[in-house]
């Protein structure tokens, strides 16, 4: 038989736009879109271009997925929980209270069927999505006064995101929606009592410690939030096979890269914040347990009323209990010993 002739494949010229939900000032999370774009462009000699735009340049930040769903923009970089108001199922592949940490989330996405389960849902909205970043667990936010008991939550005006806000509202918190640029002034004036933003690296730029010095942790509603790269499904399906694969590979690398960067920059930032007056405070066991119970109540309601939610949530929690069992063995013990050495000043 004759060998098939060698055909030199070309990388076809494709130019897409990507709308980010983030301002450029959040260079680590916004930067995920730049990283992804660079990986694609470089691997194709500049033929596959996805140009990132900051929140508001093309579309408001919180409407990024809507624009992709409608096909007015080919791609976006966003957090799926922003869209929980349409259906709380949106929140599950990103972050919900007391779910997985970053490593657990990634294990579930890539090897526990998470990416496929999420796309079965996103597909109903003409979207194909891949994980495209993770911040690691976030901080719990900045509080003007210490909060110690569940009673302290009552009437607390707290700037906190959608789905998590709905859960803590069961404990008397009054969730507030305020754009990032207005938080400082609202805290200063006392219009709000507390605000969560991201973690030390991003928070440090905004100087919250000057007006709300109590910096609580952990942000239990975002144990390891996944940021998604989303694509209009019809546009994605039109890509040649090599570009489809490259998108997945570049997204997986981008996803890892964001967490790697946060893990590198957060330690320096937390030290700066403490030096500048931030007072670190853990949430009390009483508050954590009450919030967990409130979350469980919400999950039970949603599982019984929302089939999409049920399917994905049951997959997450089946893995969650195994993940936090295994993490107790080698990882936790190793980290604990290393932290003891750190506290004893033995790590140099």
Contacting a copy of itself within 134-153 (CB under 8 A): 136-140
DSSP state of 82: G
* CB-based contact 182:174 (threshold 8 Å): no
User: Which residue, 53, 101, 120, 138, is CA-closest to 328?
Assistant: 101
Q: Which is nearer to a copy of itself, 61 or 141 (CB)?
A: 141
Q: Which is nearer to a copy of itself, 104 or 162 (CB)?
A: 104
171: contact with a copy of itself by CB under 8 A = no
Burial class of residue 5, CB neighbours in 10 A (0-12, 13-18, 19+) = exposed
Token representation of residue 195: 């605000």
User: Which residue, 113, 95, 308, 132, is CA-closest to 230?
Assistant: 132
Q: Which is nearer to a copy of itself, 177 or 296 (CB)?
A: 296
Contact map string, positions 270 to 299, toward a copy of itself, x by CB under 8 A:
xx--------x-x--x--x---x-------
Q: Which is nearer to a copy of itself, 189 or 346 (CB)?
A: 346
The only residue of 8, 189, 275, 307 in contact with a copy of itself, by rule CB under 8 A: 8
Shortest gap between Cβ of 237 and a copy of itself (angstroms)? 16
> To which residue do tokens 């998470």 refer?
114
Shortest gap between Cβ of 101 and a copy of itself (angstroms)? 6
Cis check for the bond before 218: say yes or no (omega within 30 of 0).
yes
Kindly give the pairing relationship between strand 48-53 and strand 279-282: unpaired
> To which residue do tokens 């570049």 refer?
250
Kindly give the pairing relationship between strand 14-20 and strand 75-78: parallel
By CB under 8 A, what part of segment 296-325 binds a copy of itself?
317-325
239: contact with a copy of itself by CB under 8 A = no
- What does R_g of the chain's alpha carbons equal in angstroms? 21
Sheet with 127-134, side-by-side order of all strands = 48-53, 14-20, 75-78, 226-232, 127-134
The only residue of 177, 304, 305, 333 in contact with a copy of itself, by rule CB under 8 A: 333
- Element housing 14 (H / E): strand 14-20
Shortest gap between Cβ of 346 and a copy of itself (angstroms)? 7
By CB under 8 A, what part of segment 241-270 binds a copy of itself?
241-242, 245-246, 249-250, 252-253, 255-257, 259-261, 263-268, 270
By CB under 8 A, what part of segment 42-71 binds a copy of itself?
42-45, 47
162: contact with a copy of itself by CB under 8 A = no
176: contact with a copy of itself by CB under 8 A = no
By CB under 8 A, what part of segment 204-223 binds a copy of itself?
217-220, 223
The only residue of 15, 304, 305, 334 in contact with a copy of itself, by rule CB under 8 A: 334
Query: How many residues lie near a copy of itself (CB under 8 A)?
Result: 91
189: contact with a copy of itself by CB under 8 A = no
Shortest gap between Cβ of 163 and a copy of itself (angstroms)? 17
By CB under 8 A, what part of segment 20-39 binds a copy of itself?
39
* CB-based contact 150:293 (threshold 8 Å): no
Would you state the torsion angle of the CA atoms of residues 71, 76, 78, 81, taken in this order, to the nearest 10 degrees? 20
By CB under 8 A, what part of segment 86-125 binds a copy of itself?
98, 101-104, 106-112
Token representation of residue 235: 């546009």
Shortest gap between Cβ of 42 and a copy of itself (angstroms)? 4
Q: Which is nearer to a copy of itself, 174 or 269 (CB)?
A: 269
Q: Which is nearer to a copy of itself, 88 or 200 (CB)?
A: 200
Strands (E), 123-233: 127-134, 141-143, 157-159, 174-176, 194-195, 214-217, 226-232
Q: How many CB atoms lie within 10 A of CB 348?
A: 5
Shortest gap between Cβ of 157 and a copy of itself (angstroms)? 23
């Amino acid at each position: 038989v004759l060998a098939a002739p060698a055909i030199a494949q070309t990388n076809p010229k494709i130019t897409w736009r990507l709308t980010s939900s983030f301002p450029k000032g959040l260079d680590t999370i916004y930067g995920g879109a730049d990283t992804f774009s660079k990986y694609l462009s470089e691997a194709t000699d500049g033929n596959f271009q996805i140009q990132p735009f900051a929140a508001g340049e093309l579309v408001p930040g919180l409407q990024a997925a809507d624009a992709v769903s409608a096909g007015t923009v080919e791609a976006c970089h966003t957090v799926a929980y922003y869209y929980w108001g349409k259906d709380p199922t949106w929140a599950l592949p990103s972050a919900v209270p007391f779910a997985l940490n970053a490593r657990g989330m990634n294990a579930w996405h890539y090897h526990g069927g998470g990416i496929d389960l999420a796309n079965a849902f996103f597909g109903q909205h003409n979207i194909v999505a891949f994980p495209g970043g993770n911040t690691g667990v976030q901080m719990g936010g900045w509080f003007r006064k210490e909060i110690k008991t569940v009673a302290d939550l009552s009437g607390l005006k707290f700037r906190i995101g959608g789905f998590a806000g709905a859960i803590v509202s069961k404990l008397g918190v009054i969730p507030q929606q305020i754009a990032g640029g207005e938080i400082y002034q609202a805290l200063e004036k006392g219009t709000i009592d507390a605000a969560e933003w991201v973690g030390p690296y991003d928070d440090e730029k905004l100087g919250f410690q000057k007006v709300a010095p109590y910096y609580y942790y952990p942000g239990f509603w975002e144990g390891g939030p996944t940021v998604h790269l989303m694509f209009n499904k019809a546009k994605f399906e039109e890509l040649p096979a090599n570009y489809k694969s490259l998108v997945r590979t570049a997204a997986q690398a981008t996803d890892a890269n964001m967490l790697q960067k946060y893990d590198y920059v957060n330690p320096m930032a937390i030290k700066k914040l403490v030096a500048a007056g931030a007072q670190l405070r853990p949430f009390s066991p009483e508050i954590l347990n009450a919030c967990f119970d409130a979350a469980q109540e919400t999950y039970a309601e949603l599982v019984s009323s929302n089939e999409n939610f049920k399917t994905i949530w049951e997959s997450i929690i089946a893995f969650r209990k195994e993940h936090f069992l295994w993490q107790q063995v080698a990882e936790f013990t190793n980290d604990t010993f290393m932290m003891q050495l750190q506290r004893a000043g033995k790590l140099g």
